[in-house]
Chains A and B, each alone.
Chain A
Amino acid sequence: MKLFWRMAWGGIRDLSPVVLVILFFQAVVLDRPIADLQVLFEGAVLVVVGLTIFVYGLEIALFPVGDSLAYALASKGSFLWLLAFAFLLGFGTAVAEPALTAVATEAAKTAAAAGSIADSDLARSRYTLGLRLTVAFSVGVALVLGVTRIVLGWSLPKMIIGGYAIVIAFTFFAPSEAVGIAYDSGAVTTSVITVPLVTALGIGLASSLADRNPLTDGFGMIAAILLTPMIFVMLYGTLLAWI
């Protein structure tokens, strides 16, 4: 219970910058009273309470499960199962991600306006679905790469910097309306569920392998999730423009 109170205090501290920014800009810069001071504070209270409960839940449930799954998969010694698990986990979390659906719908409008696809409901919904599957596939690939890296001990900077180079090179070939969406699609998939889950897996896997350090080897999967969707979405846009 003491832990809970400490976390609630942490929540208040975490939210105060946003509230202060809003108050400052309203009162000093815009020189207008806040229309709904009560609503602002009600919202702030909800956010703090929700945040506290959520993080507490992560600590007692998601982190232990991630750890024990990674540990069990690693000690079972089946590299293929591990890869299958990583791919399915990445694909599944991304396909179900509400933020991705929202952005994909926006992106379909952009593509229709740019004339890449026909401006009809059918064409747009096919584009949206195609985009979601592309991103989900790339997140799966990212986790497979990330797990392989942890198990085989590949160098993360080389992988990530190689990824940067591919992204920048691709930018010159892909249709321009696909580029903006591609750049943002990675950020959208790293959601509040994916990040703790993937990190728990990475850390669990790195700590269950004999000569891996959880801090230096366990991280890096989120970085891969940011990169692969950029590459695959630009590829998708390029292919669509060709066909």
Chain B
Amino acid sequence: MDLILDLLSNVIDTAMSIVPIAAFMLFFHYVVLRRELANPAQLAVGFLFILVGLAIFLLGLEKALFPIGRIMVDQLVAVSVADLPEAGSHWTDYYLIFAFAFAIAFGAAIAEPALLAIASRVSELSGGAIHAWGLRVAAALGVAAGVTIGCIRIAAGIPLHWCMAAGYAVIIVQTVFAPRVIVPLAYDSGGVSTSAVTVPVVTALGLALANQVPGRSELQDGFGLLALACVYPVITVLAYAQVTAFLEKRILRRRTENPPQV
């Protein structure tokens, strides 16, 4: 019974953010453009699916995965801190947290619905040349790298803008060499892979870490993980495209050097 009540309140919350957008789009369609919708019944069902699906999805996250994740971060930090000598902890002492951050950020990004939707769209548009699964793994690795770098930054006290600028520098160099088709998509991949699952997971991680590391304040140092989680997927997706292009070229060259016997 509680579950149903929670679900209803989630449906209402989700509706609050979706209904204005849907209404706005309908207004433009009917009033400004004066056009009929192609298939109103299918659209109505689809929007209902979006609403209910999102509500169930968020319920699962809130009821089970987030609380467990939060407890685990606290336990891991406690285990790492317990082994430390009284003063003068070094940032490498938190290696367990870094490993956990990498793994959980990767898992969260793989489960990210926005990334899933965009990856399958891209695969369609490119006629299968870009694999949905490869794209998702590449983007998720980038999120994981960004979050891990962010955690190391918090523990070691490196200024945030250095980590950002370093990421940007790599992106600029890669942009020059990467296949042109992938560049816009790669730039988008950072924002795409940080939404419903990643944002809360990463925020909780940053706050817990900033809370526990001596000399860091939750308010000043807890921010910045998300920003890094948006920068590094650009690098990994560009790298994925570069590696794929390189391999294809090599196969092509082999074929032209030793043409298959007919």
Contacts and interface: CB of A to CB of B under 8 A. Distances in A.
Partners in one complex: yes
B218 to A, nearest CB: 9
A226 B190 contact: yes
Interface string A48-69: 1111111111111111110011
B22 to A, nearest CB: 8
Nearest to A184: B226
Interface string A216-227: 111111110110
Interface stretch (A86-94, A117-125, A130-138, A235-243): A86-94
Contacts of B138: none
B17 A46 contact: no
Given A14-B111, A219-B187, A219-B188, A46 B57 contact: yes
Given A17-B111, A188-B199, A183 B160 contact: yes
A197 B24 CA distance: 13
12 contacts: A21-B106, A43-B63, A56-B46, A57-B51, A58-B117, A60-B45, A63-B121, A64-B43, A85-B32, A216-B183, A222-B192, A223-B184
Contacts, number: 324
Interface of A: 10, 14-15, 17-22, 24-26, 29-30, 32, 34-36, 39-65, 68-69, 72-73, 76, 81, 85, 88-89, 92-93, 96-99, 103, 109-110, 113-114, 156-157, 160-161, 164, 167-168, 171, 176-177, 179-181, 183-184, 186-188, 190-197, 199, 203, 214-223, 225-226, 230
Given A54-B54, A186-B227, A187-B227, A196 B103 contact: no
B52 A53 contact: yes
Contact of A54 (B50, B104, B175, B181): B50
A57 B199 contact: no
A188 B181 CA distance: 27
Interface string B50-70: 111111111111011100110
A157 to B, nearest CB: 5
Give the dominant DSSP class at B's interface. helix
B55 to A, nearest CB: 7
Interface in B48-106: 48-61, 63-65, 68-69, 71-72, 75-76, 79, 96, 99-100, 103-104, 106
A40 B67 CA distance: 10
Contacts of B58: 50
Given A54-B49, A93-B21, A223-B190, A30 B79 contact: yes
A75 to B, nearest CB: 9
Interface in B199-225: 199, 203, 219-225
Nearest to B105: A21
Nearest to B18: A193
Contacts of B24: 88-89, 92
Interface of B: 13, 16-18, 20-21, 24-25, 28-29, 32-33, 35, 37-39, 42-61, 63-65, 68-69, 71-72, 75-76, 79, 96, 99-100, 103-104, 106-108, 110-111, 113-114, 116-118, 121-122, 125-126, 160-161, 164-165, 168, 171-172, 175, 180-181, 183-185, 187-188, 190-192, 194-196, 199, 203, 219-227, 229-230
A184 B43 contact: no
Contact of A190 (B46, B50, B192, B221): B192
A29 B47 CA distance: 43
A61 B52 CA distance: 14
Contact of B192 (A20, A179, A195, A197): A195
